[in-house]
Each structure stands twice: as structure tokens, then as C-alpha cells.
Amino acid sequence: MRTAVTIAAVIWILEVAESVLRPLAISLLIFLVLSAVSARIVSLIPATFRRGRMTAHIVSIVGVGFILVLLGVLMSESIANLSANLQTYEQNLDFLLAEVQKYFGSSQKVQVMDLLRKIDLRSFVLGVAGSTAAYISMFFVVLLYLAFVVVEAQSFNDKLAALAGSPEREARLRRFSTAVKRGIDDIIGIQVFVGALQAVPTFIVLAIVGVDGALLWAVLVFLLSFIPTIGTIFGIAIPALMTLLQFMSLELFLVVLALVGIVQLYGTNILLPQLMSRSLSLSSLVVLIAVFAGGAIWGIVGALIAVPVLTVAMIVCSQSPSLRSIAVLLSANGTLPGIGQDDIAEDETGVAAT
């Protein structure tokens, strides 16, 4: 009964405080991704050029930011290219709709414009404008949160020392936080690496074939890679369907479907499990429930961040003996990595005793 009440209270808080918690969750997730990526970049920089840990992290974060800005500029060009060819897509979609109707024996001819005319354009435009304004506003709120999160992270060690109260307890808390941070960095680093490894070949295939907006679809594949199973399906279907819609060629459709499918399935079903063999993997059922629950509570943003947030929570639970059972239930096969578990168990016993 108490568990049900707690879950209901959490869902109620998430819905009521959505305007505050959603950008905060996104900013924390971005911070963790930037932290993991910057840690990887710092490890590649020779020690003689690091000039201090803070300088190295700042340089790596600036480098990541530059890459993101460059991607944004290139994606805007891809979107403009797609917009210029909308008439071609409309004609091809009309042809596909006619073929589908012919296949099912329907005598009624339906075109894209016929479907669009049934939509209340005024309400649709107002809705799109409102959604766009809301997302732009949330973007700036996320940036504001992210700036404060970065500032707060710099004083974390001082706060941890003040919270501990004694050198022994501080050492125990530091070992615990280090284990959690290492687990988060590992799993996010692996997800980013596998996502990039899926996105780059997808971009190359689409660029060679000549699909419009190849970079846009590759970035979308990268983002979808953070959603296991469901992201893989959409990561294969969207580029293949776009190829069919643009060229109306079954051969090119099958080529893109096969090549992108091989890349996606290899990354998701072979490479990712191998890299995560010492890390954590979520149950497929848990992933499915998390995606739909996140979408129901926070919309598409909730669906995208549900799995990464749940993964971070699972890592925290796996490093705490009192919460380890929750991590076991969320895991794919009940096995969890043994990173410092004995030390952490001993540390938490000591903390409880003090």
C-alpha cells in the first residue's frame, strides 16, 4: 500500500511540477553526457598539455559545444533542402497512396492535399506556433539550468566534506560517489560511442544514395539510439522510408533498409551488449514501460529522456546495498557489475553506525 501511494505521489509531482522538473531533468542529463564525453576527451589529451583538470574539462566542453553548433548549422541546411522538395514528396506520396488503395481494391482516390484540407489549418498553425514557442522557451530554461548545474558541480567536493563531518566518513562518501560517477560515465560514454557508430555509417549510406537531409536523419538516428529496441526500429524505418518517398525505387529502399539495418542491429544487439558486459543493461519490458510512461507524463521529451534517466537511477541503486534489489529488478538478466560493492557495503555500514 505504501509503495502504491509513493508511486502515485511521484507521478502527481511529475505532472504538477512538469514546467520546472522537465527542463531540470534535461539539463542534468546534458550535463552528465558532457561530463562523460569531456572525461573521455581529457583522457586522450597528453598530460603535458592538460594544464590542470579544470582547464582540460573547459577545453573539451568548448570543443563539444563547437561540434554541436556546427551540426546545428548543417542541419538547418538539411531542413531547408527538405523544404524545397516538399512538392516532390507530396507527388510521390500521392502515388504510394493510390497504389495502396488499388491493392486493397478501394475505388475512392485519396490524395495528400485532400487529407490536409480536412485539417483545421488555423488551429494546426496556432498549435505548431505554440509548441515551437514552448520548446524555444524550454531551450533557454535548460541552458540556464545547465549553467547553474555546472557552477554547482564545482563546489560539490566542498559540500561533500561539510556533509561528512569527519575525514573517515568523507572518505567513505567519496568512494561511493566516485563509484556512481564512474558507472554513469561508463554507460553514457558507451551509449554515445555506439550512437555515433550507428549515425556515421547511416549518414554515409544516405549521402552516397543521395537522400535529402542525410545529416538530419543521421542525427535523429543518434538520438534514437538512446532508446533501446524502439529506437532501433525507428532508426531503420525512417531512413528507408525517406529513401522510398524521394526516389520511388524499391531497389534503393531495400539497399538502404539492409545497410542501415545491419548497422543498427550490429550496434544494438552485438556491440552494445559486449561493451556493457561490465556495466548495466535494462530489461526490455522496463524500457518499453519507461518510454510509454515518460511519453504519457511529459510527451515526446519524456519518452526520449525516460531510459537515460532510469539508467542513471539504476546505477545509483546498484551501488547501494539497501537499494540493490531495485537495480536487480530493473536489470535485463539480474546480474549487476561488482564495482566496489564490498567496499561500498562496508562504507554504508560504517556510515549507519556513525
Task: Give the pLDDT confidence of 241-260 residue by residue, as tens digits.
Answer: 999 989 999 999 999 999 99
Look over the chain and give the mean of its residue pLDDT values, rounded to a whole number.
78
> Angle at CA 178, nearest 5°, toward 175 and 180?
110
Within this chain, do residues 354 and 279 fall inside the same structural domain, yes or no?
yes
Q: What is the pLDDT of residue 28?
A: 84
Within this chain, do residues 218 and 131 fall inside the same structural domain, yes or no?
no
Residue at 109 is within a domain: no
Residue at 95 is within a domain: no
| Residue (of 273, 271, 268, 279) closest to 327 by Cα position | 279
Within this chain, do residues 197 and 232 fall inside the same structural domain, yes or no?
yes
Contact 295, 234 (CB under 8 A): no
Q: Does residue 173 register a pLDDT over 50?
A: yes
d(CA 160, CA 286): 33
Name the pLDDT band for 346 (thresholds 50, 70, 90): very low
Name the pLDDT band for 350 (thresholds 50, 70, 90): very low
284-318 and 2-16 helices, crossing angle to 10°:
100
Q: What is the pLDDT of residue 344?
A: 42
Q: Does residue 149 register a pLDDT over 90?
A: no
Residue at 91 is within a domain: no
Within this chain, do residues 136 and 176 fall inside the same structural domain, yes or no?
no
Within this chain, do residues 198 and 139 fall inside the same structural domain, yes or no?
no
Q: Does residue 261 register a pLDDT over 90?
A: yes
The range of the structural domain enclosing residue 210 comes to: 166-354
Within this chain, do residues 36 and 176 fall inside the same structural domain, yes or no?
no
Q: What global pTM score does this model have?
A: 0.71
Within this chain, do residues 142 and 235 fall inside the same structural domain, yes or no?
no
Name the pLDDT band for 307 (thresholds 50, 70, 90): confident
Within this chain, do residues 175 and 148 fall inside the same structural domain, yes or no?
no
Q: What is the pLDDT of residue 78?
A: 80
Within this chain, do residues 340 and 268 fall inside the same structural domain, yes or no?
yes
Dihedral angle sign, alpha carbons of residues 254, 300, 141, 195: negative
Q: What is the pLDDT of residue 276?
A: 67
Residue at 113 is within a domain: no
Residue at 3 is within a domain: no
Domain count, the chain: 2
230-247 and 86-103 helices, crossing angle to 10°:
100
Within this chain, do residues 198 and 230 fall inside the same structural domain, yes or no?
yes
